Structure 1
Amino acid sequence: MATKNTGVQKYKYYKVEGDKVERLKKVCPKCGAGVFMAEHLNRYSCGKCGYTEWKKNK
């Protein structure tokens, strides 16, 4: 039996301190503000447009 999709938990993408809001995830440079990139082991990728940035090796 399939489970119902609960949606995105957007409160995990921001941190509020006083009257300032900080984004915790990287924003896609092609799509603009409001579209966050997924963080994988070796890259960041946008689920909307497919843009990929590779992480630097340490």
Structure 2
Amino acid sequence: MGKDSKTKNGVSKFYKISDNNVERIKRECPRCGKGVFMAEHKDRLTCGKCSYTEFQKEQSKKNKS
């Protein structure tokens, strides 16, 4: 397992590459800027660098009412 295979796997977590287009999959932190991605948790998005957190609304509770 060389250095190239590790780099490819790490990059594929954050970007979708198709044809000549590159799209970001994960959301970037609004405080830290480009290149710092936010972690996706069950009910929130969190930045590991500055601890910025955005809570997501639960869709399942709205559907049950």
TM range (shorter): 0.7 to 0.9
CA RMSD of aligned residues (A): 1.9
Q: Which has the larger radius of gyration?
A: 2
- Structure 1 runs of 4+ with >3 Å offset: none
Gaps of 5+ in 1: 1-5
Gaps of 5+ in 2: 1-5, 60-65
Q: Given the two structures, how large is their TM-score scaled by the length of structure 1?
A: 0.79
Correspondence for 2:54: 53
* Structure with a larger share of its residues in helix: 2
**Whole-angstrom CA distance in 2 between matches of 1:55 and 1:43:** 5
1:9 aligns to what SS in structure 2?
Answer: helix
> How many residue pairs were aligned?
53
